[in-house]
């Protein structure tokens, strides 16, 4: 079963705009990770945020984590056409279970 | 390192045939994971290994599925006999540790069972 659920399922924006994707999960976690998947390719790790962290940055990416709401958001600033991909959140719970992935958000950035 | 290497990239087989998917993890990674991705069910963890030993195979859908890791640099996922509902993209991933670390994914094997 999927632990994380992304919202929205699909997002279409213009190049230069910001893209925000949300992830909700159900159980207590050790960490939450975001991955990107280009069409026909494997998943690529973007960022890991631990349960005791609230915000993390990596380049144009900003991830927040609210453990009280069991939710996370991924913000991509100044989007580019090359950011077009599916984005997945994955949670590692503190019951020893491995990464569980959500259904993903399909992002399209139009040039 | 070339990353996680999977073969074949694409496999088309007839129902009832045996299918073997292969994976070479990143050297030095102690953990290896097999995932299946479908539109309906998303990404599902099938099984994972630690130091070549299967730790959790609760995600393996049926007895038709089996996985082995004879050494640190090679793993197989076998489906025998294959069925059309096994059609999916199968990913192998490896990581240095089991916790608080990123997983590195291969390019996947797209399996079509007709």
In tens, the pLDDT along B40-94 reads 889 999 999 999 999 989 999 889 999 999 999 999 999 999 999 999 999 999 9
**What does the pLDDT read at residue A1?**
43
* Mean pLDDT confidence for A28-33: 92
* Mean pLDDT confidence for A18-29: 93
* Mean pLDDT confidence for A69-73: 96
B15 touches chain A (CB under 8 A): no
User: Among residues B75, B67, B66, B70, which one has the least CA distance to residue B94?
Assistant: B75
Closest residue to B99, CB basis, from A41, A92, A101: A92
Inform me whether the pLDDT recorded for A46 exceeds 70: yes
Closest residue to B43, CB basis, from A44, A48, A88: A88
DSSP SS3 for B7:
strand
Which residue shows structure tokens 């991933």?
B93
Mean of the per-residue pLDDT values for chain B?
94
Cβ contact A20:A71 at 8 Å: no
Inter-chain touch B42–A99, beta carbons under 8 Å: no
Cβ contact B58:B70 at 8 Å: no
Inform me whether the pLDDT recorded for A70 exceeds 80: yes
**What does the pLDDT read at residue A94?**
75
Q: What's the rounded Cα separation, in Å, for the pair B32 and B43?
A: 15
Cβ contact B26:B104 at 8 Å: yes
Closest residue to A33, CB basis, from B42, B56, B102: B102
Inform me whether the pLDDT recorded for A88 exceeds 80: yes
**What does the pLDDT read at residue B62?**
87
**What does the pLDDT read at residue A96?**
65
Q: Could you tell me which chain A residue has the CA closest to the CA of B45?
A: A100
């Amino acid at each position: 079963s999927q632990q994380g659920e992304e919202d929205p399922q699909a997002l279409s924006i213009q190049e230069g705009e910001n893209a925000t994707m949300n992830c909700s999960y159900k159980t207590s976690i050790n960490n939450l990770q975001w991955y990107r998947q280009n069409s026909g390719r494997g998943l690529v790790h973007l960022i890991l945020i631990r349960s005791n962290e609230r915000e993390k940055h990596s380049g144009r990416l900003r991830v927040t984590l609210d453990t009280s709401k069991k939710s996370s958001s991924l913000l991509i600033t100044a989007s580019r056409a090359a950011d077009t991909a599916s984005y997945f959140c994955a949670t590692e719970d503190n019951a020893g279970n491995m990464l569980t992935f959500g259904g993903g958000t399909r992002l399209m950035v139009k040039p | 390192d070339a990353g996680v290497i999977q073969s074949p990239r694409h496999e088309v087989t007839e129902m009832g045939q045996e299918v073997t998917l292969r994976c070479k993890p990143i050297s030095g990674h102690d953990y290896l994971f097999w995932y299946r991705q479908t539109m309906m069910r998303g990404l599902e963890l099938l099984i994972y290994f630690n130091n070549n030993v299967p730790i959790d195979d609760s995600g393996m859908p049926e007895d038709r599925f089996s996985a082995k890791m004879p050494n640190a640099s090679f793993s197989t996922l076998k489906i025998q006999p294959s069925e059309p509902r096994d059609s999916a993209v199968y990913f192998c991933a490896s990581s240095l540790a089991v916790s608080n670390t990123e997983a590195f994914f291969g390019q996947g094997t797209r399996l079509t069972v007709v």
